[in-house]
Amino acid sequence: MIENSLWRKVSEDEREQIKLDSKKLLNEFAIKLSKIKASEGHFENGSGVREEGDGWETDAEFRSITMSNAPFVEEDSIIAEKGGWKK
């Protein structure tokens, strides 16, 4: 095995400490998230397709960077499965 590897076996004590630290971090994050007041909500239409509209004008540089980072682009559209970028 490689000596300078980042992976190693952890002991049961370390595993428990990691679980506790993770839970604490998630709880702190959840508390901070709950304090955010957002006017937007989530809308699920069931079909997975949005109605066409005029949209808004996007900054050219932002558009270029976004399109270059997208896994699949067809003409002026990003082709992605729902949640595909979360992987």
Residue 7 corresponds to which tokens in the numbers above?
């992976």
The amino acid that residue 16 corresponds to is: E
Cα–Cα–Cα angle for 44, 49, 50, rounded to 5 degrees: 80
Beta bridge partners of 73: 78
Residue 83 pLDDT greater than 80, yes or no? no
Q: What is the pLDDT of residues 2-56, one digit of tens each?
A: 566 678 889 999 999 999 999 999 999 999 988 888 776 666 777 777 777 887 7
